[in-house]
A and B are shown apart, each in its own frame.
Chain A
Amino acid sequence: ITKQTTLMNFFKKS
């Protein structure tokens, strides 16, 4: 089973 990550897992808010 795969889980969808979000961009928040990789990029920081600036």
Chain B
Amino acid sequence: MFEARLVQSAILKKVLDAIKDLLTEATFECSDSGIQVQAMDNAHVSLVSLNLRSDGFDKYRCDRNLSMGMSIACMSKILRCAGSEDTVTLRALDNPENIVFIFESPNKEKLAEYEMKLINMDQEHLGIPETSYSCIVKMPSQEFSRICRDLSQFGESITFACSKEGIKFSASGDYGQATIKLAQTADADNEEEAVSVNMQEPVKLTFSCRYLNCFIKAGPLCAQVQLSMSNDVPLVCEYKIGDIGHIRYYLAPKIDD
């Protein structure tokens, strides 16, 4: 028996919004420690790594490890049926063919159940080595979203250049060039608004706007985003999910041909 309950279904809704543009289907690995998803987009350019710890749920029970293949589009449709104040419970048997989503209104007067068929999926797991990154930048997620959206108008990719002074984002295309520089904030009174740059070595990397604009869909999950970068390796773009876990996106860089 697998059962996981979240008082705030809104968290799960936001998680689905954060992955539905990248993934069509994904395997949800459920164990005693929680729920994990690792899945690449079809082009294998980006990867989503989602971790929801069991202790972050309001109720969690997982008698044996389960690998459940789910259609992200279908799951997203189901979660759209949850009221913003509803509680959500995920429930599956030990050898499940289906997973059930149960939404309960705060006054317990409305109970909705949605059963979704699971799908058989080929497992393709990537080993991601622990890496110490040359630059780690933390910044407001809204600011990062804004920068990605604004610069996407000027080119297909954005160059991230990080130095001691701060981080510079730039895009260029047929119409010209656009650059946005962010300096480290002087006072960290407001942690949510802060920009911090932890640099060991300067980094310059170029990434496709298409994927960045998918990642920023996770913005509503967390006020801050963390960008981990080293030259010539994939970017890690991480959003915390309250006290329950995190979503990390890996993005392969563009390189000079």
Contacts and interface: CB of A to CB of B under 8 A. Distances in A.
Contacts of A13: 124-127
Contact of B256 (A1, A10, A12): A1
Interface in B144-159: 157
Contact of A14 (B40, B125, B233, B257): B125
Given A1-B256, A2-B257, A7 B40 contact: yes
Category for how many chain A residues contact B: 10 to 19
Contacts of B253: 5
Nearest to B159: A2
Contacts of A8: 44
B212 to A, nearest CB: 13
Category for how many chain B residues contact A: 20 to 34
Contacts, number: 55
B140 to A, nearest CB: 27
A5 to B, nearest CB: 4
B127 A4 contact: no
Contacts of A2: 157, 206, 254-257
A10 B234 contact: yes
A6 B157 contact: no
Nearest to A3: B257
B62 interface: no
Given A7-B234, A12-B126, A14-B125, 4 more contacts: A2-B206, A5-B45, A5-B252, A7-B126
Interface of B: 40, 43-47, 124-129, 157, 206, 208, 233-234, 250, 252-257
Interface of A: 1-14
